[in-house]
Amino acid sequence: MDQSSVPDQQALFGWSDAAPPTPAPSAFADSPQARRLLDVREVYAEPAALDSPRGRQIMARLPGVRVTEVPSHWRIPALHGNDGNVARWVRVKTDTLVLGVKRTLETRPNGRSADWIAPGPSNGCAMACAYCYVPRRKGYANPITLFTNIEAIVAHVRRHVRAQGPKPEPNQCDPHAWVYDIGENGDCSVDALVCDNTADLIAAFRTLRTAKASFATKFVNPDLLALDPRGRTRIRFSLMPPDDARLLDIRTSPIADRIAAAPDFLDAGYEVHFNLSPVVLRPGWQRDWADLLTHLDDVLPARVKQQAAAEIIMLTHNEQLHEVNLGWHPRAEDLLWQPAAQETKRSQNGALNVRYSQDIKRTALTRLHQLLATHAPWLHVRYAF
C-alpha cells in the first residue's frame, strides 16, 4: 500500500501510531496512552453487578462517575444499536463502561484456536477495529461490558477443566494442555486496565495443570507482566502489516510495539503466540506480509521463536458492519469490502457475512505459507482458517 494513502489516526480518531514508548508498569495507569483509550465518564450497570465485590471494586476506581442502573446489560437503548451512535463511535468506547452479570455460564467446544471457549469475563471493547465481529449482537457502538460475577466464571472453568481430566493426545491447539479461550468477545489486555477479571483468570489457570488459558490481543498492557502466569496462559498478539493496521486496527497498540513486547511477556511467564489476522487481500499484500515476517525474524530473540506458533485467519466481513463503517470510516471499506473477490453466506441470525471465495482464499493461504517458509520458517502454523 502506498504510504501516502494511509490516513493519519491522530487526525481521524484522536489516536496516534507515533504514541510515546510504552511506559513501565508502575507508570502505566497514569500514561497518556491508557487515558486516551479509556476515560470513563458514564457507567451503565445492573443493580446486582453494582452490588457485587467486583462491581464495588471497579466503582471505587471511578469516583464521581455518573451511574445509570439498567435492567439488563443486553438492553441499553441509549447505547446499543447503531442509530445516532455512528458519529460518536469512538467517544462511546472511551467514556462508557457497562457492568453486568453473566447469567449463562457455558463452555463450548472449539477445536481450532482453542479446545474450548470459556465464558468470557467481558463483552465489547474500547478499541474499534473496523472488521470486528464482537459488536454484532449488541449493535456496533459496543463499549466494554465487564461481568462482575467473576468468581462464578472462575468456578465454572475450574469444574470444566477438572471434568476433562488430562488431555489424551496432542492436537493443533496444544500438545499437552486443554486450551481455553478466555477472550472471545473482548480484549483481556484492555479489560485489565479497569478491573481484575483478567488477573483472576490468569491466577486460576496458574494452578490448573492440565489446562491453559489463551487470549488474542491488540493492546500491549505492561500491567499483565506482573500477573505471574507460570506458563499456563498463552497470549496471542495479533499482527498484520502496519499500514493495514493504521487503517483498520483503530485505537490499538502499534504493530511494532506488539512484536517488541513478545520477549517481555515470555520472560514474565506467558506462552507467546501470534495471530496473523485478519489477512486482508489488496494490491501489495504479499510484499507487506513478507516485510512483516522479515521484521519478526529480525527482532525476535531465539527464545521467543522456539516456542512461538501462529494462527492465520483470513478476513471475514459482514454486510451490516459494512453499512455502519461507511458512516464513520469509509476508507476502511475500500479494503474490507471487495465483492468481486468475496462470497456471501447467511448466518443463523440472518446477517449476511462475506468471506473470500474459496479459490482466492486457497491461493492466498498457499502464498502465505510460502512467505512463512521463506521469511520466518521457525513460525509453526497451528491452523489457518
User: Which positions touch ligand SF4 (CB under 6 A)?
Assistant: 125, 127-129, 132, 134, 186-187, 218
Sign for the pseudo-dihedral over CA of 69, 71, 72, 76: negative
In whole angstroms, the minimum distance from the beta carbon of 96 to ligand SF4 comes to 15
CA angle 243, 294, 363 (to 5 degrees): 75
Distance between CA atoms of residues 211 and 177, nearest Å: 5
Q: Which is nearer to ligand SF4, 129 or 154 (CB)?
A: 129
In whole angstroms, the minimum distance from the beta carbon of 240 to ligand SF4 comes to 11
Q: b/e string for 262-282 if b means 16 or more Cβ within 10 A?
A: bebbbebbbbbbbbbbbbbbe
Sequence-distant (≥ 6) Cβ neighbours of residue 301 within 8 angstroms: 263
* Amino acid at residue number 4: S
Q: Which is nearer to ligand SF4, 101 or 240 (CB)?
A: 240
Distance between CA atoms of residues 249 and 264, nearest Å: 23
In whole angstroms, the minimum distance from the beta carbon of 278 to ligand SF4 comes to 9
Q: Which is nearer to ligand SF4, 128 or 179 (CB)?
A: 128
Q: Which is nearer to ligand SF4, 129 or 199 (CB)?
A: 129
Helix (H) or strand (E) holding 307: helix 302-307
In whole angstroms, the minimum distance from the beta carbon of 134 to ligand SF4 comes to 4
Q: Which is nearer to ligand SF4, 90 or 309 (CB)?
A: 90
In contact, 103 and 49? CB cutoff 8 Å: no
In whole angstroms, the minimum distance from the beta carbon of 126 to ligand SF4 comes to 7
Q: Which is nearer to ligand SF4, 114 or 376 (CB)?
A: 114
In whole angstroms, the minimum distance from the beta carbon of 329 to ligand SF4 comes to 12
In contact, 296 and 259? CB cutoff 8 Å: yes
In whole angstroms, the minimum distance from the beta carbon of 147 to ligand SF4 comes to 15
Q: Which is nearer to ligand SF4, 89 or 178 (CB)?
A: 89
Q: Which residues sit opposite 272 in a β-bridge? A: 235
* Amino acid at residue number 125: C
Sign for the pseudo-dihedral over CA of 348, 324, 277, 114: negative
Q: Which is nearer to ligand SF4, 132 or 272 (CB)?
A: 132
Count each helix (H run) and each strand (E run) in the chain, helices first.
16, 16
Distance between CA atoms of residues 135 and 89, nearest Å: 12
In whole angstroms, the minimum distance from the beta carbon of 200 to ligand SF4 comes to 20
Residue 382: count other Cβ atoms within 10 Å of its Cβ.
18
Grid cell, residue 201, equals: 483468570
Cα-Cα end-to-end distance for the chain: 24
Q: Which is nearer to ligand SF4, 125 or 371 (CB)?
A: 125
In whole angstroms, the minimum distance from the beta carbon of 263 to ligand SF4 comes to 22
Distance between CA atoms of residues 99 and 70, nearest Å: 9
